[in-house]
Structure 1
Amino acid sequence: MSSSDNPVPLADADLDALVDEWLDWGQAAQLLGVTPAKVRTMIKDHEIAGAVPKPGVPPSVPAAFFQDGLIVKGLSGLLTMLHDHNFDDRECIAWIFTDDDLPGRPIDALRENRGAEVKRRAQVLGF
């Protein structure tokens, strides 16, 4: 079933159900070889997106945003595009992890170096 069959606002999506594994800022920092403060800056600058996946959990980032110790290629540009469409980080994460028109989720396409498909789909949001 695609998300268009049952339109749940992205802001209301259950991120914990959509994302298999989360990293807190300290874990993400260790993975990237930077400080937790740098991770916070990366989130602010839309290089990665972060959210509180469920109550009682610290702000975290999806583990799938990283591959081989780096940020997945194309993620930063996609996040900038989604923010240009007035998405907040929670909505960005929900969109990236929702199986819709691609085949598969946008995060899977990015991780498989099929970012052009994802960007084309993101460009038409709101039209």
Structure 2
Amino acid sequence: MDDVIPNDIPLETLLADEPMLTLPETAERLGVVITRVHDLLGANKLIAHVIDGKRHIPEALFHEGSHSTGKFVPGLITLLKDGGYTDEEILRYLFTEDETLPGRPVDALHGQLAREVLRRAQAMAL
């Protein structure tokens, strides 16, 4: 899978300046109990990055100022997970700059290029 997703930059570097939410903060943001966050992670509707042994959700998965991830984020995560991608590979894909978009796929998911990001992810998952 790594031949499709660039891996020349360590994931920790890609996510170094990203605001991250703990699972309790994510539950609060979504207005749900923490067990629902665990369910969303287990159902591949959310994705987490492990920092010091604890899972954190990148805040960029959420619409700015919103209490939701938007309709495309869960679908993209599920699509790539079903295609055999690991959490690290999905995060790497989402947070790696792509000059053909332009920008990062995670940012494009919240705008007019969301369908293009999904189309590319679907092609990758085949």
TM-score band w.r.t. shorter chain: 0.7 to 0.9
State the match for 2:44 in structure 1.
Answer: 46
Separation in 1, partners of 2:28, 2:44: 19
Whether 2:59 is the aligned partner of 1:63: answer yes
Q: What is the deviation of 1:7?
A: 4.2
Structure 1 pair 110–126 and aligned structure 2 pair: CA distance change class (3 A): closer
Residue 117 of structure 1 corresponds to which residue in structure 2?
116
Say which SS state the counterpart of residue 36 (structure 2) adopts: helix
C-alpha distance in 2, partners of 1:83/1:91? 9
The CA RMSD over aligned residues, in Å, is 2.4
| Structure 1 unmatched ranges of 5 or more | none
Native 8 Å contact 2:82 2:125 kept in 1: no
Per the TM alignment, residue 17 of structure 1 is displaced from its structure 2 partner at its CA by: 2.3
Identity value in percent = 32
State which of 68, 85, 93 in structure 2 corresponds to 1:95: 93
* Cα distance between partner residues in 2 of 1:40 and 1:113: 30
Question: Which letter does structure 1 place at the counterpart of 2:58?
Answer: P
Q: Secondary structure at the match of 2:57?
A: strand
With structure 2 as the length reference, what TM-score do the two structures score?
0.82
Look up the match of 1:105: 104
Unaligned runs of 5+ in 2: none
Matched with 2:84 is: 86
Residue 126 of structure 1, CA deviation? 6.0
| 2:29 matches 1:31 | yes
Shift of 1:40: 1.0
Q: TM-score, normalised by structure 1?
A: 0.81
Q: How many residues align?
A: 119
